[in-house]
């Protein structure tokens, strides 16, 4: 025996039921879609807020670095100016004879029993350093006139002059005996040429003495 269901309801009622089910399904899907969109929107808001905070932190760091660069740029400018001035000063003085050093050399080698009565220095050329024994023009010369007690002292004086690196070709032009207040003396007139070592650029410590 088998049973058979017989729907005694009019067809319109079945269509209405299916329509309600379809509407409910559509509404549920719409609500789910809205919920998904709300969740996505909330996530995007959180991500945008996080990115905004990162951007703000990066902008603050950039501003701090820019302030540091601005403070250091003045020192960099001063350093470049100092380098330019140092280079200019070195260029202007590289062929200069530093007479303070030359006179100090004279004072170090003069014997205790020799007195200078006159010292005259001249510079004739500084563009091409002279080399002892060559035909190049000397840088200049120094004329030294003085008094001592014997010819031996004069020879000692010339020997000491010849030992100074800044000098070359020590020469005795005149040496004559005389008397000063009843004391026998020897008057001499000597000269030396200036060697390349007399130039500022060739002197030890010239960089510190610019």
Q: What's the whole-number average pLDDT of the chain?
A: 80
Examine the pLDDT at 131 and tell me if it is beyond 50: no
* 65-72 average pLDDT score: 78
Which pLDDT band holds residue 6 (cuts at 50, 70, 90)?
low
Examine the pLDDT at 15 and tell me if it is beyond 70: yes
Which pLDDT band holds residue 108 (cuts at 50, 70, 90)?
very high
Q: Which of 108, 98, 109 is nearest to 139 (CA)?
A: 98
Burial of 48 (0-12, 13-18, 19+ CB in 10 A): exposed
Gap between the Cα atoms of 7 and 118, Å rounded: 148
Q: Which of 192, 160, 159, 156 is nearest to 173 (CA)?
A: 192
Coil, strand or helix: which one is 161? helix
Return the pLDDT at 180: 85
Which pLDDT band holds residue 54 (cuts at 50, 70, 90)?
confident
Return the pLDDT at 137: 63
**Are residues 198 and 102 in contact, defined by beta-carbon separation less than 8 angstroms?**
yes
Coil, strand or helix: which one is 155? helix
Which pLDDT band holds residue 1 (cuts at 50, 70, 90)?
low
Report pLDDT digits (tens) over 152-193.
999 999 999 999 988 999 999 999 998 888 889 999 999 999
Of 65 and 8, more confident: 65
As a whole-number percent, the residues of the chain with pLDDT over 90 amount to 26
Which pLDDT band holds residue 127 (cuts at 50, 70, 90)?
very low
């Amino acid at each position: 025996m088998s049973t058979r269901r017989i729907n005694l309801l009019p067809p319109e009622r079945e269509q209405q039921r299916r329509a309600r089910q379809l509407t409910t399904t559509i509404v549920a899907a719409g609500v789910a879609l809205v919920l998904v969109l709300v969740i996505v929107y909330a996530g995007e808001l959180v991500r945008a807020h996080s990115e905004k905070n990162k951007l703000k932190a990066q902008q603050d760091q950039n501003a701090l670095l820019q302030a540091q660069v601005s403070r250091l740029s003045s020192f960099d400018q001063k350093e470049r100016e100092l380098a330019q001035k140092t280079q200019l000063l070195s260029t202007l003085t590289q062929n200069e004879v530093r007479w303070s050093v030359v006179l100090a050399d004279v004072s170090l080698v003069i014997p205790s029993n020799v007195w200078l009565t006159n010292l005259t220095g001249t510079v004739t050329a500084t563009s091409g350093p002279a080399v002892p024994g060559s035909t190049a023009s000397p840088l200049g010369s120094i004329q030294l006139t003085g008094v001592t007690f014997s010819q031996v002292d004069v020879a000692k004086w010339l020997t000491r002059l010849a030992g100074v690196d800044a000098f070359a070709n020590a020469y005795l032009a005149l040496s004559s005996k005389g008397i000063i207040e009843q004391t026998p003396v020897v008057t001499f007139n000597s000269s030396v040429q200036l060697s390349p070592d007399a130039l500022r650029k060739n002197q030890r410590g010239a960089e510190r003495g610019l």
